[in-house]
Chains A and B, each alone.
Chain A
Amino acid sequence: METEIRFTHRSLVERSKTGDRTSQYQLYELYVDAMYNVSMRFLGIKEDAEDIVQDSFVDAFKNLDRFKYESSFGAWLKRIVINKSINHLKVKRLPLTSMDEHEYHLTDEVEIEKVNAMDILKVKSGIEKLPLGYKQIINLYLLEGYDHNEISDVLGITTSTSKSQYHRAKKKLVEIINGL
């Protein structure tokens, strides 16, 4: 099953590798909204997200020969978009993670189960209200499905920092949601 997922849209990808513009456009049509949303969740600014997604598609099509089906094309493309988005934030010198008091919060599971958070729209609103650093880590872990090793790679932090930051971010999110 996993193999089938990796080879999703294989024929389109293969034709795109040869430079076939129609196939490239079809791939673009399939993924552009998802990638745009990924970028918007990180950047929050329409124009920035558009630039990042455009650059990501251009890079992806130009370097398609390097894509060896180790993941699905979508996952590969999403990684490009996320990396570019994170780099964009780094260039703008926006803090990706709040580094204060991050060492000792691995067990901050308190109150999580009590959260009145089953209204997903409140959750969405709560995520948008999070400080930028927390928002990135919640996005990466909960929405993009990254594990802490991957997050540590992308953000340039240790795995333990990623874990502790995630727990703090989640706690903060619950607080925000409960306050809505």
Chain B
Amino acid sequence: MDQFEKHIRDNKAVFVDHKADRAKMWANIAAQLNENPPKVVPLWKSPMVRIAASIVILLGITGIVGFTFFGNPNTPTHYVSKELQDIDMHYKGLVTYQVQLVQNNNQLTAADKEEFLSFMVELDAEYEQLKLEMRNNLDNEQVLAAIVSNYRKRIELIENLLQQLNESKIKEEDYGYTL
């Protein structure tokens, strides 16, 4: 700091030569300070909100408990669905294979095939209905039994047909042999 700067700083009082209008300015300041700031009531302090929050918490706990203890019936449904899925896969494969055998059989006329397949279509429609009932969670065990029965009927039908065909084939082939 040079002498010039030091001289100014040492005589700073000279630069304080204005007088504020204290009364007027304080009146304005006090007026602004007295303006009531918007009262902020924290939500958690309101009794109504506390009650509402308690109810929500209670409902939440009840829901969780209810789901835990009474939601169990859903588990068998999932189990049955899984059971149905397994049965479905097993029988569907079997039926498809046997239907294919019937369709490929040269000994059956087109009319016979059509008649046979129409039975299968009816059983298919019945099966679809049973599956819907299963989804609606009616009596699962009974519906499942009905589905299995449906598949058995189809398979039985196919097996009978194939057996008849084989028997006639054997008769034809064995005509030259005398046991």
Q: Are B25 and A113 in contact (CB under 8 A)?
A: no
Point out the residues of chain A lying under 8 angstroms from B8, CB to CB.
Answer: 120, 123, 142-143
Quick check: is A112 within 8 A (CB to CB) of the other chain? Answer: yes
B21 within 8 A of A: yes
Q: Assign chain B's interface to a size class.
A: 20 to 34
B29 pairs with A36, CB closer than 8 A = no
Question: Is there a chain A Cβ closer than 8 Å to B7's Cβ?
Answer: yes
Tell me the dominant secondary structure on chain B's binding face. Answer: helix
Asked if A91 is an interface residue, CB under 8 A from chain B, the answer is no
Residue of A nearest to B19 (CB): A33
What are 28 A-B residue pairs whose CB atoms fall within 8 Å in the complex? A21-B33, A28-B26, A28-B29, A29-B22, A33-B16, A33-B20, A35-B20, A36-B20, A37-B15, A37-B17, A40-B18, A49-B18, A50-B25, A53-B25, A54-B32, A57-B29, A58-B33, A61-B33, A62-B33, A109-B2, A112-B4, A113-B2, A113-B4, A123-B11, A124-B14, A142-B9, A143-B8, A143-B9
Query: 5 closest Cβ contacts across the A-B interface?
Result: A36-B20, A120-B11, A58-B32, A37-B16, A40-B18
In the complex, besides A32-B20, A53-B25, A117-B7, 6 extra interface pairs with C-beta distance below 8 angstroms are A21-B30, A41-B15, A49-B18, A142-B8, A143-B12, A170-B4
Residues of chain A at the chain B interface (Cβ within 8 Å): 21, 24-25, 28-29, 32-37, 40-41, 46, 49-50, 53-54, 57-58, 61-62, 109, 112-113, 115, 117-118, 120-121, 123-124, 127, 142-143, 145, 170, 174
